């Protein structure tokens, strides 16, 4: 029997708002998926197609998140590690080894390795990158419906000029990360 290896990646570490997402994927070696790549290098339409294919063909996958409150309480790095742990722990099958995009690993008992730019070189990490990004983007669309003045569906919570203008005009909403400096400044200005 083949040992199961999982790929893990995150989406949403840098934005000023919303949860950070992580995904873990164990691909089926008998059903390879063509076109897997770093999610940032794919069009939104291509990511959506691959997302559906990954969900259909992977042996198992799990998408998890850490909330804005957890980000503000723990810090973004630790919240990202928490989301990654949740994603791996949520897999229906337990991996023999975990490959994580980046240069750090969550604290866990799994055999694991961190791979810098793994989202462009390891298929399972690429798949996780796509699942995390599409899930985060969908959550930004949800936030946009709740808080239309901020433009979350366009900038995905990142620190764009549009986002800064909305912060200046409306102040932070409940989904802004108050531990991030631009949001702290906006909150200080609102007092």
35-69 tens-digit pLDDT: 999 999 999 999 999 999 999 999 999 999 999 99
Contacts of residue 31, defined as CB under 8 A and 6 or more positions apart, other chains included, come to 57
Q: For residue 61, give the 3-state DSSP assignment.
A: strand
Length of the chain: 191
CATH code for the domain of 115: 3.30.420.10
Q: How confident is the model at residue 28 (pLDDT cuts 50, 70, 90)?
A: very high
CA distance 62 to 49: 18
Predicted local confidence at residue 190, as pLDDT: 59
The total of other beta-carbon atoms located within 10 Å of residue 72's CB is 16
CA distance 110 to 16: 31
**Inside any domain, residue 191:** no
Q: For residue 9, give the 3-state DSSP assignment.
A: strand
**Inside any domain, residue 152:** yes
Predicted local confidence at residue 95, as pLDDT: 97
Number of domains in the chain: 1
Indicate the helix (H) or strand (E) that contains 123.
helix 123-146
CA distance 149 to 79: 27
The C-alpha angle 77, 182, 79, rounded to 5 degrees, equals 15
Predicted local confidence at residue 136, as pLDDT: 98
User: What value does the mean pLDDT of the chain take?
Assistant: 95
Predicted local confidence at residue 1, as pLDDT: 52
**Inside any domain, residue 105:** yes
Position 18 pLDDT exceeds 70: yes
Predicted local confidence at residue 191, as pLDDT: 47
**Inside any domain, residue 154:** yes
Predicted local confidence at residue 101, as pLDDT: 97
| Alpha carbon of residue 159 to chain centroid | 17
**Inside any domain, residue 29:** yes
Instruction: Give the rounded percent of residues in the chain with a pLDDT score beyond 90.
Output: 95
Closest CA to 110 of 122, 129, 94: 94
CA distance 1 to 11: 32
Range of the domain at 35: 5-186
CA distance 16 to 98: 29
Give the model confidence (pLDDT) of 66-119 as tens digits.
999 999 999 999 999 999 999 999 999 999 999 999 999 999 999 999 999 999
Give the model confidence (pLDDT) of 145-170 as tens digits.
999 999 999 999 999 999 999 999 99
Predicted local confidence at residue 2, as pLDDT: 66
């Amino acid at each position: 029997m083949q040992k199961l290896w999982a790929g893990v990646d995150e989406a949403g570490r840098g934005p000023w708002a919303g949860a950070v997402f992580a995904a873990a994927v164990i691909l089926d070696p008998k059903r390879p998926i063509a076109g897997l790549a770093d999610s940032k290098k794919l069009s939104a339409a291509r990511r959506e197609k691959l997302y559906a294919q990954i969900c259909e063909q992977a042996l198992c996958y799990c998408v998890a998140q850490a909330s804005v409150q957890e980000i503000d309480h723990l810090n973004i790095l630790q919240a990202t590690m928490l989301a990654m742990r949740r994603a791996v722990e949520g897999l229906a099958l337990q991996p023999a080894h975990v490959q994580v995009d980046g240069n750090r690993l969550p604290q866990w008992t799994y055999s694991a390795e961190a791979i810098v730019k793994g989202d462009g070189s390891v298929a399972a990490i690429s798949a996780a990158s796509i699942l995390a990004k599409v899930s985060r983007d969908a959550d930004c669309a949800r936030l946009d419906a709740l808080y239309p003045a901020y433009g979350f569906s366009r900038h995905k919570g990142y620190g764009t000029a549009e986002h800064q203008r909305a912060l200046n005009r409306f102040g932070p909403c409940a989904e802004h990360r108050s531990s991030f400096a631009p949001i702290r400044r906006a909150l200080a200005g609102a007092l």
